[in-house]
Amino acid sequence: LTVYTSVNSASIPSERKRFPDAIIIGVKKCGTRALLEFLKLNSRIKAPGPEVHFFDKHYDLGYDWYREQMPVTNATDITIEKSPAYFIGKSVPERVYKMNPKMKLIVVVRNPVTRAISDYTQAATRKKRSLFTSKFEELVSCFNESHPSCQAGVNASWGAVRIGIYHRYLHRWLEYFPLHQMQFVDGERLITEPASQIRPVEKFLGLSPVVKKRDFIFDSVKKFPCIKKFNGTVHCLGKSKGRPHPKVSPATMRKLSDFYRTENEKFFNMINRRFNWL
């Protein structure tokens, strides 16, 4: 006989739910879900399942609502949440600062060229459009070469391109938070060597690192690292993560890489760190 007990979240005393100690603020399509799932391998890290979107969409619902979205934790646990749209939200840095000027901020960034293709792929999939490469190439290119948003032949006002200009958004965060309160993760290396990318984040959160290389296995079907559970089963992220991308012509790839070169430099100078994105 199996007895199932259900927990009604409304009956959980709110003092057992705590405001987050840290937030994964973005960047969209850079591996935010993988980062969160991999961090949760450390049993002291707890997070709500869905994205909370408090500081961008639901701010009017107030702090009590926000805390209610958090998981039940022990006093020694670390609560984190991830809402990738926070990174680009104009009012978000100030709102986070007002709530907790000591909030730890985690940012995962990847090569903005790949990020743009990933963003386009997601949007096209959601709209149930077929993934025409030509459509991506059309959207990347300028309609009018003399328009101010046209830079090096790239339409820098298209969202998929704009979000990859990381320094523009980071600049706003640095008006409120010192750099040492932010931890940057290379989204490219999160795919190739996840454990080495998780370790510094555990330390940043004040935890002894427990996540190890042996916790991951590269899944040859998914073509991404998946979590190897202690009982031998393998847990990969859902099918909306690690989608196949449309093939983009070498000329467009080159154009985008050239466009981002100076933007990436500005970002690297801002964070005093460089990533080896080819």
Shorter beta-carbon distance to ligand A3P: residue 14 or 192: 192
Alpha carbon distance 212, 185 (integer Å): 16
Candidates 91-99, 168-176, 239-247, 270-278: pick the segment binding ligand A3P (CB under 6 A): 239-247
241 binds ligand A3P (CB under 6 A): yes
Residue 53 binds ligand A3P, judged by CB under 6 A: no
Q: What is the 3-state secondary structure (H, E, C) of the chain?
A: CCCCCCCCHHHCCHHHECCCCEEEEECCCCCHHHHHHHHCCCCCEECCCCCCCCCCCCHHHHHHHHHHCCCECCCCCEEEEECHHHHHCCCHHHHHHHHCCCCEEEEEECCHHHHHHHHHHHHHHHCCCCCCHHHHHHHHECCCCCCCCEECCEECCCHHHHCCCHHHHHHHHHCCCCHHHEEEEEHHHHHHCHHHHHHHHHHHCCCCCCCCHHHEEEECCCCEEEEECCCCCEECCCCCCCCCCCCCCHHHHHHHHHHHHHHHHHHHHHHCCCCCCC
C-alpha to C-alpha distance for 267 and 100, rounded to whole angstroms? 25
Site for ligand A3P in 125-184 (CB under 6 A): none
Q: Using the minimum distance from each CB to ligand A3P, give the nearer residue, 154 or 190.
A: 190
Nearer to ligand A3P, 84 or 93 (CB): 84
Letters for 179-208 (x = contact with ligand A3P by CB under 6 A, - = none) are -----------xx-----------------
The pair phi, psi for residue 260, each rounded to 5°, is -80, -15
Closest distance of CB 152 from ligand A3P, Å: 24
Interface with ligand A3P, residue 277, by CB under 6 A:
no
What is the nearest approach in angstroms of ligand A3P to the Cβ of residue 236? 6
What character string, x for contact with ligand A3P (CB under 6 A) and - otherwise, covers 68-87?
Answer: ----------------x---
Site residues for ligand A3P, window 20-39 (CB under 6 A)? 28-34
Residue from 79, 164, 225, 267 binding ligand A3P (CB under 6 A) = 225
CB of 36 to ligand A3P, least distance (A): 8
- Out of 17, 29, 46, 255, the active site residue is 29
Q: Is 29 a catalytic residue?
A: yes
**Interacting residues toward ligand A3P by CB under 6 A:** 28-34, 84, 118, 121, 190-191, 224-225, 237, 241-243
Q: What residues are labeled active site?
A: 29
Binding site as annotated, residues for 3'-phosphoadenylyl sulfate = 29-33, 110, 118, 241-245
